[in-house]
């Protein structure tokens, strides 16, 4: 087969540089943040700042605080269950196999609307927000829900970390009213 376009010379590093990587199933840094369990599968350090990936399990009926990212786009691939998403001033539902894309600067949030845990993949580009979970989430073997709630209210380092993440929390009062 022949092609009618330029192909790099065989001594070009594009032929030999092996800069990709694989993350095996069940690999990642697992952290709990209240009603969420996230395995951070890819960090900015691994992807040269280009991509952050997390696999999450969200507790029944839990909804996060709507927010916006000033720099990072965020996307979700629903693996199981059903989620309601806030997208600006609108809402929609997404289920297994659905892909949701939220560009930076868009107010958004999600809620597991079922009575069972639901799973999703979360993607950030560029990377960054996933590092918050690595640095400030709690390890499974030491997780205490009351301690996490107290940290959110009283830990100034945690609050500064949230403030330094290029995001703004934007609760609307009736965000998850059904």
Q: Locate 6 and state its tokens.
A: 């330029």
Contact of 33 with 17, CB cutoff 8 Å = no
**How far are the Cα atoms of 57, 104, 118, 124 from residue 38, in angstroms, in the given order?**
6, 21, 12, 14
Angle at 100 between CA 94 and CA 105, to 5 degrees: 130
pLDDT in tens, the chain (178 residues): 777 888 899 999 999 988 899 999 989 999 999 899 999 999 999 999 999 999 999 999 999 989 999 999 999 999 999 999 999 999 999 999 999 999 999 999 999 999 999 999 999 999 999 999 999 999 999 999 888 888 878 888 877 887 778 888 898 888 887 6
Contact 77, 62 (CB under 8 A): no
The verdict on pTM exceeding 0.75 is: yes
């Amino acid at each position: 087969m022949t092609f009618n376009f330029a192909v790099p010379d065989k001594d070009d590093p594009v032929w030999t540089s092996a800069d990709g990587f694989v993350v095996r199933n069940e690999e990642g840094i697992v952290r709990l943040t209240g009603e969420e369990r996230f395995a951070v599968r890819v960090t900015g350090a691994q992807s040269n700042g280009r991509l952050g990936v997390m696999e999450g399990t969200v507790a029944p009926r839990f909804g996060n605080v709507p927010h916006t990212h000033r720099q990072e786009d965020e996307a979700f691939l629903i693996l199981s269950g059903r989620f309601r998403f806030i997208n600006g001033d609108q809402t929609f539902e997404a289920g297994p196999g659905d892909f949701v894309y939220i560009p930076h600067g868009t107010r958004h949030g999600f809620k597991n609307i079922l009575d069972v845990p639901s799973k999703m993949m979360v993607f950030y580009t560029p990377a960054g927000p996933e590092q918050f979970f690595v640095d400030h989430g709690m390890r499974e073997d030491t997780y205490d829900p009351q301690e996490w709630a107290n940290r959110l209210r009283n830990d100034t380092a945690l609050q500064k970390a949230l403030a330094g993440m290029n995001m703004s929390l934007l609760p609307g009062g009736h965000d998850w009213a059904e």
